[in-house]
Amino acid sequence: MRRQVPLILCFVFGIVMIFTQFIPHSLSQSLHQEVRQWYLIIFPFALVFSSIALIRTHVMRIRRRTEHWRYSFLIFIGILMMVVIGVPFGPQHHVFEWLFNNVQVPMDATMFSLLAFFIASAAYRAFRARTLEASLLLVTALIVMLGNVPVGDLVWNTVFAWLPWENATSGMKQWILDNPNLSARRGIILGISLGVISQSIRIILGIERSYLGGGD
Amino acid sequence: MLEKLMSIDRRIIFILVALAVILPTLIPVSMPISVSEPTQKLYDYIETIPAGGTIMLVFDYGPASLAELNPMARAIMKQCFAKDIRVIGLTLYAVGTTMGSTLIQEVVEETGAVDGEDYVFLGFRPGLELVILGMGTDITSIFDRDYNGKPLSEIPMMQNVTNYDQVDLLVDLSAGSLTEAWITYANVQFNLQIAAGVTGVIISQMYPYLQTGQLVGLIPGIAGAAEYERLIEAPAKGTLWINIESFVHLLIIGLVVIGNIAFFIQRRREE
Amino acid sequence: MEKIIGIWIAAFLTLCIYSFLYRDNPFYRFAEYLFVGVSLGYSIVLQIHQGLIPFAWQPFSAAVTGGSLTGLIKLIPIAIGLLFFAGLSPQQTWLIRYPSAILIGVTSGVAIPNVLQAHIFEQTRGTIGPFAAIHAGTLSGWGVFEAILMVVGVVCTLTYFFFSIEHRGPVKWVSKVGIAFLMIGFGSAFGNTVMGRVALLIQRVDFLLNDWFGTIF
């Protein structure tokens, strides 16, 4: 009941979704649509539950007085600010939009912009041409960085004005992206896709059961 | 001297990076921008769509990517509204909802586009690939109303749009793997033409799809946004920022070169 | 006024986060935790209004008020979805497996044929497709070189990831070429990532210098 039924459900729903995609009969298509609707009904519950689970984690942090536990209260203030306006009036309410644009947006954008500083620092300290492979990575990165910005072509067109190739910096970058980069990426895509397909088959057949978690 | 150079406090590098951004922001410079082939392809494709055509513009990104993707979204909307192409906005990424809604309002104020006639914003629905598949059969099975709660049946521009068959192009502005989801489900199952505008992080992985034609065009990061602004002859933030970006890239390249020179000198001494 | 207050709050929070560049401090932690809370609150509101209400509540109320059999069938997935909340009770957590199994089964089922078509067949076609152009004689000498380079790159990269045989002899060399292609791929990804992250920084500085300072000077 605790493990067998979920395995059967997974198998039945998985098989239905595979076969109904290949059978154009109206009955098959209706079944496909019905299962799709079931998925769309169930899925939001999972998302709301995951949010509640995260709130619970912070309640536990406060209860157990873990490091920086007092800051967890700020999480509840943040949640309350959004939920008090958003749940009764909807996300279209101008106060909700104002909070999003003036509180969430600047913090989110700034948090990720910190990486610009750390990338520069790490590049200076660790980006070394120690081996042939590392040199390839480094040279490619430098060409792409230079080719991405207008100063790359400006310098080339000024310094190498006597050469017949205009905008060669961005041209080199484009060639790298279109050829060796494409090959490497395609190899990765093929590898990942074969992995996704085999994993999906294992899940449907009940060989892969990690989603059931531990216990009975 | 060499040891000092190698163990420089990281905060000095932070200050250099900050100066490389602040100074050109205060004293803007303008350099010529060349247009790459993937950006040109998308621009040309939209140019071939006749007046009255429809594109879907998907805001699959959050504030962490707005610097790169907002300028693209603006440029595409301006091109579409100028050509009388209708825009259906939506997102599969919750945080993209208010981003998309706010941005559309800003462009509408500039262009005078009319809600329900020139554009409609549908909002967000959770479910990723199942939402993509559902809209392929019937858009109203996923979005029966627009973001403001108006039934799609009452929106003039949606009268003849029931599924992807009536959509000329879908442009996914993405900060993650959602462009691949659109390719996997909308392109394969419904033959919907797809283009993308993506953040720097995922530019490289889009090229295989561009070569196969699964993507009809690609705007690569802030550089692509600046290129697109040049194509529509409306330079804006993308153009301004890519010029500033030049100085930071030069600084980082300089730091890498100095770091490597110091490294090789040190290695030679040790040998 | 509303706009100016918004700009000042945004500027304060931006500076709180940038204070981390000096070192970890209470201002940064204040912004960090507030950010988590606001994001979570935003997510809850969107999941309810744009997910639960249109996908679960509306079918539910239609089923209850309409009373039709097809409508009532929708009550089954709603009941299954509600099982997620059993996760709040440690004794009943196992009930989560039911809705999870359905979600995982459905996504696995739709993935197999579509991933096969979009990523395996199409990418293979893209790799060998240029050889049809070579055969037809429509590709230039440089184009032929690029087509061969692409096949070599894809095969070598795949060989590097193929662990079923030991990487010795010729296989070792092929996989070494694969590593070279991967390094070029990662190098270009790094170069592009730098562009993305720097763009974010420029946007924030633009906000501080133009929007925020604009309210002062």
Cβ-Cβ contacts under 8 Å, C47 against chain A = 44, 47-48, 51
**Interface residue of C13, C200, C208, C217 to substitute, partner B, most B CBs within 10 Å:** C200
Cβ-Cβ contacts under 8 Å, B133 against chain C = 110
Q: Say if the Cβ atoms of B200 and C21 lie within 8 Å.
A: no
Cβ-Cβ contacts under 8 Å, C201 against chain B = 17, 21, 248
Cβ contact B39:B220 at 8 Å: yes
Q: Which of residues 93-112 of A touch B (CB under 8 A)?
A: 96-97, 100-101, 104-106, 108-109, 111-112
Q: Residue B241: which of C110, C117, C202 has the nearest Cβ?
A: C202
Confidence class for position A62, pLDDT limits 50, 70, 90: confident
Rounded distance between C-alpha atoms, residue B38 and residue B95, angstroms: 27
Q: B1 or B258: which carries more pLDDT confidence?
A: B258
User: Domain locations in chain C?
Assistant: 140-217
C-alpha distances in Å from residue B213, one per residue of A142, B41, C110: 28, 11, 23
CA B181 vs. chain centroid, Å, equals 16
Q: Does B203 contact A at CB distance below 8 Å?
A: yes
Among A72-76, B101-105, B193-197, C14-18, which is the least confidently predicted range?
A72-76
Per-residue confidence (pLDDT) for residue C67, from 0 to 100? 67
Q: Say if the Cβ atoms of A38 and C76 lie within 8 Å.
A: yes
DSSP A54-104: HHHHHHHHHHHT-TTGGGHHHHHHHHHHHHHHHHHH-TTSHHHHHHIIIII
The neighbour count for residue B44, using CB atoms within 10 Å, is 12
Structure tokens at C99: 């809705």
Helix (H) or strand (E) holding C30: helix C26-47
Structure tokens at B112: 């005078």
Residue given tokens 């040309």 in the structure block: B44
Cβ-Cβ contacts under 8 Å, C197 against chain B = 200
Per-residue confidence (pLDDT) for residue A215, from 0 to 100? 67
Q: Say if the Cβ atoms of A120 and B67 lie within 8 Å.
A: no
**Interface residue of C50, C104, C108 to substitute, partner B, most B CBs within 10 Å:** C50
Closest by Cα among A12, B129, B127 to C110: B129
Per-residue confidence (pLDDT) for residue A216, from 0 to 100? 64
Rounded distance between C-alpha atoms, residue B222 and residue C196, angstroms: 7
Rg (CA), chain B: 22
The pLDDT of residue B259 is above 70? yes
DSSP B171-202: EEEESSSHHHHHIIIIIHHH---EEEEE-GGG
Q: Residue B37: which of A44, A151, A174 has the nearest Cβ?
A: A174
- CATH topology for B37-237 is Rossmann fold (3.40.50)
Q: C75 or A199: which carries more pLDDT confidence?
A: A199
- Which amino acid belongs to residue C131? F
User: What residue in A sits closest to B133 (Cα-Cα)?
Assistant: A36
The pLDDT of residue B75 is above 90? yes
Cβ contact B174:B196 at 8 Å: yes
Q: Say if the Cβ atoms of A74 and C183 lie within 8 Å.
A: no
Q: Say if the Cβ atoms of C117 and B245 lie within 8 Å.
A: no
Cβ-Cβ contacts under 8 Å, A36 against chain B = 130, 133-134
pLDDT in tens, A1-53: 788 999 999 999 999 999 998 888 999 999 999 999 999 999 999 998 998 88
Provide the number of CB pairs (under 8 Å) joining chain B to chain C: 137
Digit-by-digit pLDDT tens for chain C (217 residues) are 889 999 999 999 999 999 999 999 999 999 999 999 999 999 999 999 999 999 988 888 887 887 677 777 888 999 999 999 998 888 888 999 999 999 999 999 999 999 999 999 999 999 999 998 888 888 888 999 999 999 999 999 999 988 888 888 889 999 999 999 999 999 999 999 999 999 999 999 999 999 999 998 7
Helix (H, G, I), strand (E, B) or coil at B59: strand
A65 min Cα distance to partner chain B (Å): 31
Mean pLDDT of A158-170: 91
Per-residue confidence (pLDDT) for residue C62, from 0 to 100? 83
Angle (CA) B49-B51-B52 rounded to 5° is 105
Q: What are phi and psi of B88, to 5 degrees?
A: -105, 115
The pLDDT of residue B267 is above 90? no
Rounded distance between C-alpha atoms, residue C190 and residue C183, angstroms: 10
Per-residue confidence (pLDDT) for residue C63, from 0 to 100? 79
Q: Say if the Cβ atoms of B101 and A97 lie within 8 Å.
A: yes
Q: Over the range A86-115, which residues count as b (16 or more CB within 10 Å of their CB) and which as e?
A: beeebbbeeebbbbbbbbbbbbbbbbbbbb
pLDDT in tens, B207-251: 999 999 999 999 999 999 999 999 999 999 999 999 999 999 999
Rounded distance between C-alpha atoms, residue A13 and residue A36, angstroms: 10
pLDDT in tens, A84-129: 999 999 999 999 999 999 999 999 999 999 999 999 999 998 899 9
User: Domain locations in chain B?
Assistant: 37-237
Residue given tokens 């699959």 in the structure block: B60
Q: B169 or A50: which carries more pLDDT confidence?
A: B169
3-state helix, strand, coil in chain B (%, to 5): 60, 15, 25
Q: Which chains pack against B, by 3+ Cβ pairs within 8 A?
A: A, C
Per-residue confidence (pLDDT) for residue B269, from 0 to 100? 86
